[in-house]
Amino acid sequence: MTTAAEAPADLVVDFDIYDPALTTPVDTVQQRAAELAAKGPVVYSTAHGGHWVVTGYREIHEVMRDHETFSSYPNNLVTTSAGFGKFIPIELDPPEHTGYRLALQPLFSPVRMKALEESIREVVNELIDGFAGRGEAEFISEFAHELPARVFLALMDWPLADAPLFTEATDVILTGVPGGTEEESNAARGQAAFSMFGYFQQVLDDRRANPRDDVTSQIITSEFQLSDGTRALTDEELNRMFFLLLIAGLHTVQGSLAWSVIHLAANPEQRQQLIDDPDAIPAAVEEILRIEAAVVPGRRATRDTVLGGVPIAAGDQLILLLCAANRDAAEFEDPEELQVNRLPNRHLSFGSGAHRCIGSHLARIELRLALEELHRRIPDYRPVESEPPVLHASQVRGCVRLPITFTPES
């Protein structure tokens, strides 16, 4: 494995994607990403025992599409040492990964997700009803967190009342203990995983005794063609799959909704385009996804290789800074500008290759419907200057607090 002493000196940096300092001001991650990209498409960070940070669009695309050279395990710089195993299927490589992926695809297909549109719109408006008359709201707790949580729990047919348990556990997995040591954070992550696996086991036992017409029951009762034969998934496999679906379903949409408000409030002309022409919202969703790209996936080199002109040794860990790739001037014209009608927009926010986000169709629908109804009902929203957004830095970056004001709905 490559050490800091062996990496090219001009490419060694101290960047840490988990550094709390990256959360203020809002664009600090993007500023640091630009600084790293200026050094080259691949740089070496001394954080977390040493790893490569890939910033170039072409290089990230190459890594994502070459699973034989770049394994998806470990995907995360910190959870591996917490000791709770692989997330399924994101931390499995083809061909082992393929059967699990095919098992999930029909459950999150475009047709199935399209059928959920009206029920999702009802949830959106029900949430807006809760604060539209006040002229103010804490956007995360009252909307951006609640929307994906309610949609996910309804899809899985899990009790909405259990949402706080999921929120607490996934927050710990992503960010550890604020201000704590790595050992303290890993201990908390392990405990959070233990509690969630216990919850999932109760779900499994209940569905086997009382099967229903929902995604959970279908996953539990179906047999899938896996690398070791056609069979049902084990309880351990199901636990790890549910945990991944939970994290992916809640946090990425929450962050994208927050960044939509932040960016569009700061770009009133672009926001006015969406107010005047709701048909422009799908393209705007893609642009919000491009300009932020919350997820920072990880990979491990399985063999010696060269990436972006830099030698990578077998066993080296890499993280893919998608927000840097999505602002690569070689791929995007005026990449720092928010252009709600940007076409084409070949962003990598949902990944590429075998591990491209299976929930992308659902995420797009949630974001589109949310922006349609927000711009119809409270179009002049703006963050509260005296209470700036509270963000968190991790490999799934996000926003935990965002007070807004607007003209009350009459």
For residue 80, the model assigns a pLDDT of 55
Which residue stretches of 157-280 are H helix?
A: 163-175, 182-209, 215-221, 235-266, 268-276
Mean pLDDT of the chain, nearest integer:
91
Q: What helix, strand, coil percent values describe the chain, rounded to 5?
A: 50, 10, 35
Tens of pLDDT, residue by residue over 307-328, are: 999 999 999 999 999 999 999 9
Q: Which helix (H) or strand (E) segment is 260 a member of? A: helix 235-266
Instruction: Indicate the pairing of strand 51-54 with strand 42-45.
Output: antiparallel
**Which domains are assigned to the chain?**
9-393 (1.10.630.10)
Dist. CA 86–CA 97, nearest whole Å: 12
Instruction: For tokens 């960010």, name the residue.
Output: 175
Tens of pLDDT, residue by residue over 32-77, are: 999 999 999 999 999 999 999 999 999 999 999 999 999 999 998 8
Backbone φ, ψ for residue 319 (5° rounding): -120, 150
- Single pTM value for the model: 0.92
Radius of gyration of the chain (CA): 21
Nearest to 317 by CA among 10, 54, 37: 54
Tens of pLDDT, residue by residue over 95-142, are: 999 988 988 887 788 888 888 999 999 999 999 999 999 999 999 999
Tens of pLDDT, residue by residue over 16-39, are: 998 988 887 666 888 999 999 999
